[in-house]
Structure 1
Amino acid sequence: MIEQEWEKAKKTAKKYKKLFEDMIVHPNYVKLNGAYYFDVAYLKKGSDRTNGKAIIPGNSGNEKDAMEIHDLIVGFHHTIIGIFTSSDERSRVSPVFYEEALQVSEKGTGEKIEKGKGVIAELGDLLKYLKVEYQKVTDFINGSVEVTEEVNRFLTDQAAKLTACQINMIRLSSDFDGVLADWKEEMENQGLWDQLTRETQKYYIGTLMASGIKNSRAQFNEQPVLPDGSLEKQAASLENTLKEKQAEWIDDSRSKLRWPKH
């Protein structure tokens, strides 16, 4: 049934598509008063720039109800896009980079090695956490999702957890105190660096290069400041920031609506 509603919405959405535009009709929906509403984006052809928006019903519906559910479904897609954009690539990082580095580091001695092990272990734990929480999101949105306030609360919570996790990972990878650089140097001095696989060596060289040219440090400085404490406490502190960004996205969507008229 949802597939039929979605197909009908696709046909209706074409009426508001302009020349030289691509169109995306998201499969997720809000159900209100027996009608199914879908979020539509009209993009500049060959680009990801959004020229227009619409909230289109399937086989029935009206402008008033479409406008009523606009914020709910647009907020949902904003959160999903934010999660994928920020977390998908990092979720693909192999935990082997941390596990192997720790295993080989056990053969070393000295304060620089021990401090490096501490940072690497923390990064490894954060990556495990990120993979678990990100998987919860991908499992949840597999297929069409009926968007509700409860669904949006769940996704906002997940977005906050993943954001807090990533800010911590960026901070550690930025190597502000030179811990990783000192660890690498000492690994070389003790003949341990060459015991790492080529892939793991490249990973840490890339991490240090990024911090050296200030890429990751600049990225970290652009992030919200987190309080000390657990990831859960840090995630809770991000709630207002995430809501503000979502509100900006919703306002932008409203300004580009082709249907319903507003």
Structure 2
Amino acid sequence: MRLLLWALLLLLPAQASAAPLWQTLPPTPPAVSGERSGHAKVNGISLYYATIGHGPPVVLLHGGLSNSDYWGHQVKALARRHMVIVVDSRGHGRSTRDDRPYGYDLMADDIVALLDALHIAKADVVGWSDGAILGLDIALRHSDRVGKVFAFAANTVTSGVQEGVEKAPVFARFIERARGEYAKLSATPKDYDAFVTQITKMWETEPNWTDDQLRSIKATVLVVDGDHDEAIKRAHTEYIAATIPNAGLLILPNVSHFAFLQDPALFNAALLHFIDGN
């Protein structure tokens, strides 16, 4: 699978840019025309979701501090052959939260509850950063609910994250952008600093999975990252792929933690090959 993916990616045209792609933060895509949105009452919160397209279901899970709009380029690509479900994680975007502390298990259970509400027995999962962790969490604890997992820029222990990532130029711009988007979308628009404080407490201690837990994953997993990811250590990405049974490993060239925005053609080629391949 790895050689096929690399061969596919090498056929894509090179992207011209005044700055290297990995140093850019392209705009958050607008909402995709045709999406049908709603709020599901699950686990004591109101969880925002939207669906588009028809076919085998694929759930897209965004990274921490962000929202489901970030997946716009991928929604368009996947919706040609799939029912695509995008979700704002609890407390993010248009979704609410309760007083319980953030935790990946809790947030993953929200997604499973949404699948129940939508009468979806099983779905593939595409995750970015925290969303990739949620996809792996579902594969760990709800193995019957997930097929394939495209895990982009995940960590499975806290030491897998680069120290001082919040000060990296592109990541710092993302954090500030997320502040404005939170103010625009959230039901509690003035609570961004409190929101960041709460989710940071989770990041300080989670995830903290053992080798045995990763070895228990039965789903088909592709572990993906950008070669200039400012958040996740390369050695840790390689460790995840080596530890999950039969997992693939793909390092996308010239992109960072925001590869799906920086080079959507490259990202989507890898994604579609994995999701729609045998």
Q: Same fold (TM over 0.5)?
A: no
The structure with the largest strand share of the pair is 2
- Provide TM-score, normalisation by structure 1: 0.24
TM-score by length of 2: 0.23
